[in-house]
Amino acid sequence: MAAARTFADMLAQFLTVYLPVTRACSQNTVCAYRDAFTLFLRFMDQRHTTPPDKVSFADFTAPNVAAFLGWLRTERQCSTATANQRLAALKSFFRYVQAQAPEQIAQARQVLGVKAAHVPEPAIGYLPVEAVGLLLEHATHRGLRDLALLTTLYDTGARVQEVCDLSIGDLRLGKPASATLTGKGRKTRIVPLTPQAAQILTQHVRSLPNDSSGPVFANRAGKQLGRAGTAYILARCAHAAHAERPELVPEKVSPHVLRHSKAMHLLENGVNLIYIRDILGHASIITTEVYAKANPEMKRQAVEAAAANTLGPSRYNQASRQDLLAWLRDAI
């Protein structure tokens, strides 16, 4: 019983003091850690008939944790990436345990020794500039708030929660216009706004109560718009845009796709990866480099530049190239 109470006490301390106070983690982060342990307790109850109040440190063995990850993937239909996130939450807790309860170091090492599964690097989904323009065009039909919302999502390249959390006081709409975003770990960054976005936001803010602490984007009840509401608004605009140009706009577009699109468009226009990293709020340039890897046009340009340096100029002049292209079109 003492071990069970010790585990329960330390988990409560981890979730209610260490994460939100000591580490200053956001509520979303705390909820993600809480959910990981909720699922582990459910797993222990279903697979080992151990009720939540009986789970102790001794139950966190390497075989149990590995079985838990398998249970997530099979019973819960979780992706490998999601299972890895749950494992990361367990490991974070046991690093905390090592420092707070040295007598549990041997137990902690069992969890910390479990390796995350390899996840293939996902393809980045992004929209061409014309598709983003069509989305914003359909947002105008829904009203100024929705146009300002989607414009801000794209123009700042922000995470959806960062836009939801924007207060009127976070906006500087004079020249040069900017928005102060609060991201992961409650870190803030200032992102420049284009004149067009600043103009749309200025018109939208004029329609709001004069309260600098009030949300920039509110729901019908006047409360801060949430992620689900934001995704719904974007989904409606994407549905209308897809109906008009199905070859240009996919049927489903998530807010994160607008973030990816902004990053890719900045890259295509020659903006340095360091600046893109700062705009997106990435902790490391390694995270931002994925956009360069995902851009086929930049790869092609790099290959052509390397070939030109190695092989020298092409033996075909512009006229010869046009003749060749004409021949290919006729042949096909």
> CA–CA separation, 17 vs 12, rounded Å?
8
Give the pLDDT of residue 270. 82
Strands 171-172 and 188-192: unpaired
Structure-token pair, residue 290 = 């994925």
User: How many C-beta atoms lie closer than 10 Å to residue 19's C-beta?
Assistant: 22
User: In the structure, what pLDDT confidence band is assigned to residue 106 with cuts at 50, 70 and 90?
Assistant: very high
Asked if residue 91 has pLDDT above 90, the reply is yes
99: enclosing H helix or E strand: helix 80-100
Residue 221: phi, psi to the nearest 5? -85, 0
Question: Domain 129-294 carries which CATH code?
Answer: 1.10.443.10
User: In the structure, what pLDDT confidence band is assigned to residue 308 with cuts at 50, 70 and 90?
Assistant: very low
Span 221-245, average pLDDT: 94
Give the pLDDT of residue 26. 82
Domain ranges of the chain: 2-112, 129-294, 296-331
Asked if residue 73 has pLDDT above 90, the reply is yes
Give the pLDDT of residue 152. 95
Give the pLDDT of residue 147. 94
Considering only CA atoms, which of 116, 153, 307 is closest in space to residue 229? 153
Residue 56: phi, psi to the nearest 5? -130, 175
Give the pLDDT of residue 2. 41
Span 43-48, average pLDDT: 95
Residue 188: phi, psi to the nearest 5? -105, 150
Give the pLDDT of residue 92. 96
Better-predicted residue by pLDDT, 148 or 28: 148
Give the pLDDT of residue 123. 59
Give the pLDDT of residue 331. 46
Please determine, looking at this structure, whether the domain spanning 2-112 carries the CATH number 1.10.150. Answer: yes
Give the pLDDT of residue 74. 94
Span 94-101, average pLDDT: 93
User: In the structure, what pLDDT confidence band is assigned to residue 138 with cuts at 50, 70 and 90?
Assistant: very high
Asked if residue 227 has pLDDT above 50, the reply is yes
User: In the structure, what pLDDT confidence band is assigned to residue 325 with cuts at 50, 70 and 90?
Assistant: low
Give the pLDDT of residue 200. 94
Give the pLDDT of residue 209. 87
> CA–CA separation, 9 vs 16, rounded Å?
10
Give the pLDDT of residue 211. 83
Better-predicted residue by pLDDT, 83 or 3: 83
Q: List CB contacts of 36: < 8 A, sequence separation 6 or more.
A: 85, 86, 89, 90
Better-predicted residue by pLDDT, 309 or 100: 100
| Single pTM value for the model | 0.62
Which residues face 172 on adjacent strands? 178
Give the pLDDT of residue 275. 84
% residues pLDDT > 70 (the chain): 83
User: In the structure, what pLDDT confidence band is assigned to residue 93 with cuts at 50, 70 and 90?
Assistant: very high
Q: List CB contacts of 101: < 8 A, sequence separation 6 or more.
A: 6, 10
Give the pLDDT of residue 314. 44
Give the pLDDT of residue 276. 85
SS3 content of the chain, % helix, strand, coil (to 5): 65, 5, 30
Of the candidate ranges 102-111, 159-168, 195-204, 295-304, the one whose mean pLDDT is the lowest: 295-304
180: enclosing H helix or E strand: strand 178-182
Asked if residue 15 has pLDDT above 60, the reply is yes
Digit-coded pLDDT (tens) for 267-303: 888 888 888 888 888 877 766 776 666 555 554 554 4
When the pLDDT of each residue in the chain is averaged and rounded to a whole number, the result is 85
Which residues face 218 on adjacent strands? 224
% residues pLDDT > 90 (the chain): 61
